[in-house]
Structure 1
Amino acid sequence: MAIQVRPPQRDEMHAYYRALPFANGLPQWEPAAAAWHGGPEPWPPQRTPATAEQLEEWAEADVKDETFHPIATFADGACVGASAAISFDVTVPGGGTVKVAGVTSTGVIATHRRHGYLRRMMQAMFDAALDRGEPLAMLSASEGSIYGRFGFSPATFRARWELDRNDAALLPAAPDPGSLELVDAAQASQSWPVVHAQVRVQRPGELTPLPGRWDSLSDNADGTKGPLRYLAHRDEHGEVDGIANFRLPWSSTAANAGTLVVEALEATNPTAYRALWSLLVDFDLTRTIVAPGRPRDEPLRWMLANPRAMRITRQSDNMWARLLDIPRALTQRSYDTVGEVVFTIDDDHMCPANNGTWLLRAGDTSVTCVATDQQADATITISALSSLYLGGMSAQNLAYAGRITAHADDVVARLNRLFRVDPEPHNSFGF
């Protein structure tokens, strides 16, 4: 059997899509309660298979998109596996951004699994990302046991929480000098990029939106989910500094009636954040507020008179990270403390240039990461270092799990001081 792993040609794009679960109406997420889904059921229904017209629309758009890098496996000329990397940026500690290869839409058809095709496609995407100067890869894992073998590891988390309206009183606060306004989709689509651009630089883990991210916002109903509604906050100068998307879905059961689902909410300051939530948790003729895909350390909890009222009903990892170029990635983020650590990587079989002993030194004004022949303070797996990178993971927990082997008594504490950030990283949307 002749095997090729390469980008598909234009006339092969329809076959490329048909190797992907989402284009065929097949399961694309493990059957577990999804923290990104706001409905009462564990996960949304599967999509219907794409039509030939949809496949052609996708192909026309993707071949023109310079940020979209498809890869496919061909067995005797037939496309049996497909994936893609999307080039974008992610905010890292310190407010800077790093170029990322976002791995997405991955699948191998059922008759050709267990032949190593996914690994070969992943290797091809890693090599291409390094050629493009992208030192980091990220993905949202559809199944928790697949991507660790390629060096990926959880780097951000998300939670779905619920709050009873009758138990949602907020603590007193200073009067809001701004105002709230219900807006339509056209206004929301203009406000979202402005607000997100300001929020993103403050939030490690946040993604730079791809073009057209908010173009599809609509005022039209979406089946029983109802239409999206949009709530904006303006500061005392009339500028939008916070916005939320929410729904009031219909339910056939009394248990789920009167639910308000907050699908997205961002604010550039605490005043706007509090004002948006103060209305959403006390909306007329509702009983329960549900918010999926939220940070684990949601500040709203500490604004409630009863912080126990906010119940986390689902929680999961969100974005997984994978360092492709260790020195380039580590020197493009900042560190809150001055310090250094010498560590060894010896398990990276896909990006062998990462293997070796490295001296990471964070100074007052500069960061360096260079190969060294010094004795290592620790041996770290590539997946553990990838988890530490955005600042949301505990080096102590990784050491307990055997993913960091300490050779110096204080190295785990040093790693925690160097890498951790507060608040922890979060990304409000995926790709």
Structure 2
Amino acid sequence: MVTEIRPPRPDEMTAYYRALPYANGLPMWEPADAAWHGGPEPWPPQRTPATPEQLARWAEADVKDESFHPVATFVDGKCVGASATLSFEVTVPGGGTVRMAGVTATGVIATHRRRGHLRQMMRAMFEGALDRGEPLAMLSASEGSIYGRFGFSPATRRTRWELARHEAALLRAEPDPGSLELVGAARAKQAWPVVHAAVRRSRVGELSPLPGRWDGLSDDADGTNGPLRYLVHRDRHGEVDGIANFRLPWSATAGNAGTLVVEALEASNPVAYRALWSLLIDFDLTRTVVAPARPRDEPLRWMLTNPRAMRVTRQSDNLWARLLDVPLALTRRAYDTAGELTFTVTGDRMCPANNGTWCLRAEDGVSATSVPTSVPATRVPADVPATCVPTGAPATCVPTDQAADLTITLPALSSLYLGGMSAHDLAHAGHVTPHTDGAIGRLARMFRTDPEPHNSFGF
């Protein structure tokens, strides 16, 4: 028996897809209420298996896509496992961006599970990401018990909430100097990249869009879900600064009739944000507003006369993070609080260069505009732009022989990276062990960000 872990050749792409659940109409999510789904059922129905024509179209597009990096397991020439990474940039604390490998489309066929194939593919993808200068990997975990053993840990959250229209009164505010307009898909395709670019600059955890991100927007109906509708906000100068996609699906039951589902809403300022929600939560002939995959700390709650009226109906982790290069990743983000922390990482078998004791120092002042000198030059590709470096307190992270202030697991450090998780909770659970007084508090103050990190779309 000969096992190979390698990228599939173009003529092997059809067999590659056949190893993935979504191509075969198999379940892609564990049986739990999904916070990313706006319908009344726990999760949407499974797809039908892909046709040969669909597989051929996917192969043609993916082979040309320079951001798509597939890997597969072949046993005696047969493809039995498949995965891939997508090259993104993710906004980190301080407003800079970090190159990130987004792990996606992962599966091993049922007859070849429990043989270490997934671990081997993960190791190959990590090595490829490091070669491309991507010090961070992230994924959406379809099953919560799988990816922790590879060093991934939750880093962002999402919620699904509901609001009854009769309870949706807003506090008084200054009149909106801008305007709202319902537009078609063609206009929405133009507006979304503009709004997303503005939001991404300041939202920790937000991802760069891949080419064609909004090409699938359509005015056509989607079965009983009905067509997507698009609402645009313009400022007083006529520039687009907010947009929302929403549906008015048909329901066979009285309990779910009159529901408006907000599938996506982004605004680059509070005025546009309030204006979009003010229309959507008071739409004619509706009773309930449902918004899935929203930030956990939605500002709309604080605009309501009754904040309790916005009820969270589902909540889950969203992106899981995994640091591939600890010093490079930590020097690519900024820290609101200057300070010094010495920590030890042990037990990283997938990326052993992360193991050791490190001294992280965040200085007062303005960030440097070049690659930090503490990062080994061999780990930084020549084409990494200076704009990747955040503003705020510049940081260095170097190996040290000093006694550590604390010991932290790689998954815990990965959870803290974007600033949305609690250092105190992780320590209470045994993932962080302090060795000096005040070490956990210093860790918490240096890493935490407000608002919490959030990403508006998956991959």
Task: Give the TM-score, by structure 2 length.
Answer: 0.94
Alignment of 1:17-416 (within 5 A): 17-364=17-364, 365=366, 366-416=394-444
CA drift at 1:215:
1.1
CA drift at 1:11:
1.0
2:386 corresponding residue in structure 1 = none
Q: Which contiguous aligned blocks of 4+ residues in structure 1 show a shift greater than 4 angstroms? A: none
1:421 corresponding residue in structure 2 = 449
Distance 1:62 1:269 in 2: 36
CA drift at 1:409:
1.5
Question: SS of 2:215's equivalent?
Answer: coil
**Structure 1: gaps (5+ residues):** none
CA drift at 1:347:
1.2
Please list the CA deviations of residues 117-158 of structure 1 after superposition, one character each: whole Å capped at 9, or x if unmatched: 000000000011101110000000000000000000000000
Amino acid at match of 1:33: D
2:387 corresponding residue in structure 1 = none
CA drift at 1:404:
0.3
Distance 1:64 1:285 in 2: 46
Question: SS of 1:188's equivalent?
Answer: helix
CA drift at 1:377:
0.3
Amino acid at match of 2:37: H
CA drift at 1:219:
0.6
CA drift at 1:55:
0.5
2:381 corresponding residue in structure 1 = none
Please list the CA deviations of residues 150-181 of structure 1 after superposition, one character each: whole Å capped at 9, or x if unmatched: 00000000000000000000000011111111
Amino acid at match of 2:313: T
Distance 1:373 1:322 in 2: 25
Question: SS of 1:23's equivalent?
Answer: helix
CA drift at 1:354:
0.3
Distance 2:192 2:64 in 1: 25
Question: SS of 2:55's equivalent?
Answer: helix
CA drift at 1:308:
0.5
Question: SS of 2:301's equivalent?
Answer: helix
Distance 1:350 1:384 in 2: 15
Distance 1:185 1:13 in 2: 32
CA drift at 1:72:
0.3
- Matching of residue 16 in structure 1 with residue 44 in structure 2: no
CA drift at 1:408:
1.0
CA drift at 1:216:
1.2
Please list the CA deviations of residues 101-128 of structure 1 after superposition, one character each: whole Å capped at 9, or x if unmatched: 1000000000000000000000000011
Distance 2:437 2:421 in 1: 20
Amino acid at match of 2:243: I
Amino acid at match of 1:7: P
**Structure 2: gaps (5+ residues):** 367-393
Distance 1:206 1:32 in 2: 25
Amino acid at match of 1:186: A
CA drift at 1:5:
0.5
Distance 2:355 2:131 in 1: 18
Q: Identity of aligned pairs, percent?
A: 78
CA drift at 1:289:
0.2
Distance 1:193 1:105 in 2: 25
CA drift at 1:330:
0.3
Question: SS of 1:191's equivalent?
Answer: helix
Amino acid at match of 1:104: T
Amino acid at match of 2:28: Q
Distance 1:237 1:67 in 2: 36
Count of aligned pairs:
431
Amino acid at match of 1:404: V
CA drift at 1:235:
0.4
Question: SS of 2:42's equivalent?
Answer: coil
Amino acid at match of 1:359: C
CA drift at 1:58:
0.6
CA drift at 1:196:
0.4
Amino acid at match of 1:10: P
Distance 2:420 2:201 in 1: 16
CA drift at 1:69:
0.4
CA drift at 1:34:
0.2
Distance 2:177 2:131 in 1: 50
Distance 1:173 1:10 in 2: 57
